[in-house]
């Protein structure tokens, strides 16, 4: 039996600062939008076109990362498309969103810090342990006892 695939990978810049809300159940919901620009040839000239994607991230990761998701920041997202349909004022409305599973902070904003952003790009998974920090942050003397139990 064939399996359907719904997988999206996008790299782009945030079009606005991320918004953090909470559902009635207490779950954190982070909403943001990514702009993605590409070039295409029309006649003899190259023209830039842009696409905009609404993204949603849930849970503790959404709470931890929303403060880093500021307008102009380049990010990469990995997730799945979700289609929603509802009735509003007698009209049927619909939207497609990217439900984000993983996120990477890639680059800085072009303003402020001279194009360089010192934000740690490994914050995409706040549940990762200290063992996955870069080797420059590792202090071999304070992490473990001399007798390893295995």
Confidence of residue 98 (pLDDT cuts 50, 70, 90): very high
- Who contacts 7 (Cβ-Cβ below 8 Å, separation ≥6)? 78, 79, 80
Is residue 73 within 8 Å of residue 34, measured between CB atoms?
A: no
Confidence check: pLDDT of 138 > 70: no
Q: What is the CATH number of domain 8-133?
A: 2.40.50.140
Give the DSSP letter of residue 94: E
Q: Provide the residue ranges of all domains of the chain, joining segments of one domain with +.
A: 8-133
Distance CA 19, CA 89 (A): 26
Q: Do 79 and 98 meet the contact criterion of CB atoms below 8 Å apart?
A: yes
Quick check: 141 pLDDT over 90? no
**With 90 as the cut, is the pLDDT of residue 149 above it?**
no
């Amino acid at each position: 039996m064939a399996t359907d695939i719904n997988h999206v990978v996008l790299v782009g810049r945030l079009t606005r600062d991320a918004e953090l809300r909470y559902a009635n159940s207490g779950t954190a919901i982070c909403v943001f939008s990514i702009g993605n620009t590409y070039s295409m040839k029309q006649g003899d000239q190259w023209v830039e076109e842009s696409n905009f994607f609404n993204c949603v991230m849930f849970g503790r990761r959404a709470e931890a990362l929303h403060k880093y998701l500021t307008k102009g920041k380049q990010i990469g997202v990995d997730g799945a498309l979700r289609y929603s349909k509802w009735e509003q004022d007698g009209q049927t409305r619909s939207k497609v969103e990217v439900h984000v599973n993983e996120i990477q902070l890639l680059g800085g904003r072009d303003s402020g810090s001279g194009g360089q952003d010192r934000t740690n790009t490994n914050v995409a998974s706040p549940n990762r342990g200290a063992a996955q920090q870069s080797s420059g942050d590792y202090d071999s003397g304070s992490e473990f006892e001399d007798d390893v139990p295995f």
